[in-house]
Amino acid sequence: MSILINKDTKLIVQGITGRDGSFHASKMKEYGTNVVGGTSPGKAGQEVCGIPVFNTVKDAVAATGANTSIIFVPAPFAKDAMLEAIDGGIKLVICITEGVPTLDAVLAQRYARIKGVQVIGPNCPGLISPEESMAGIMPTNIFKKGHTGVISRSGTLTYEVVYNLTQAGLGQSTAVGVGGDPVVGLYFEDLLRMFQDDPETDSIALIGEI
C-alpha cells in the first residue's frame, strides 16, 4: 500500500500551460500518474501533452472527478491557487512553488485545516508512491516499490537517501517531501501517523530537522 497517493489518484495541474507546469505534467503522465486535467485562466479547451485545460479548479473537478492538485504558479499567486483548490473540491493540495510569502502560507494552511483539506508544501518536491503515482518533480528512476516510508524536508537529501535505500534493496512505499519553508502543511508527526497505520510500511526514514 501507500499513503496519500496511489493508482486511484486523479491529479490536476494548476499552471499547466506555464513552462514548469507543462514540463512536469508530461513527466508525471509519462510515469503513469493519472493526470486528468490542468488549469490556466482563459485557456479552457486547449490541451497540454494530451491533457485537457480548464479555466478553474471547480471546472476541472466537475469534468474529471479530480481529488488532488499540484501547483506550479509564481509565488505571488500561490496563495490564491491553494485557496482555489481548497474551495474547488480538491482533497490533497501539493504546492511546489518556492518563495511563497510566509503570511500567504499561514492563511492558506489555516483555511485548509478549516476545510479538512490536506496540503503538502509549499517549496517542496512533492511525493511519490513508486509504480503507482508521482505528484511532484522527483527523479523517478531512483525509486523502487517497497516497504520503507520516507519523510524529508530537503529534496536533494531525499534523492540521496532514496538512491542508497534502493541500492541496498530497500524499496519505498511512499516518499514525501514536506517542504523547507517555516510554514508548511502535513509535517513529520502527521505523516508518521499515516505510515504507522499503513500495513505495507515496515520502516520509516526521517530526513532533516524534525
Continuous segment of H or E residues that includes residue 99 = none
Confidence at 65, pLDDT banded by 50, 70, 90: very high
Confidence at 208, pLDDT banded by 50, 70, 90: confident
* pLDDT per position as a tens digit, 108-155: 999 999 999 999 999 999 999 999 999 999 999 999 999 999 999 988
Indicate the domain borders of the chain: 11-207
Confidence at 172, pLDDT banded by 50, 70, 90: very high
* pLDDT per position as a tens digit, 46-58: 999 999 999 999 9
How far apart CA 160 and CA 195 sit, in angstroms, is: 21
DSSP letter at 189? H
Of 32, 37, 59, nearest in space to 48 by CA: 37
The CATH number of the domain covering residues in 11-207? 3.40.50.720
How far apart CA 38 and CA 13 sit, in angstroms, is: 4
User: Residue 209: is its pLDDT beyond 70?
Assistant: no
pTM as predicted: 0.96
- Helices and strands in the chain, H and E counts: 6, 12
Phi-psi region of 7 (alpha: psi -120 to 50; beta: other; left: phi over 0): alpha
Confidence at 35, pLDDT banded by 50, 70, 90: very high
pLDDT for the residue 155: 86
How far apart CA 41 and CA 137 sit, in angstroms, is: 23
CB 70 within 8 A of CB 45: no
Q: Taking all residues of the chain, what is their mean pLDDT, rounded to a whole number?
A: 96
Beta pairing class for 47-48 and 51-54: antiparallel
DSSP letter at 156? H
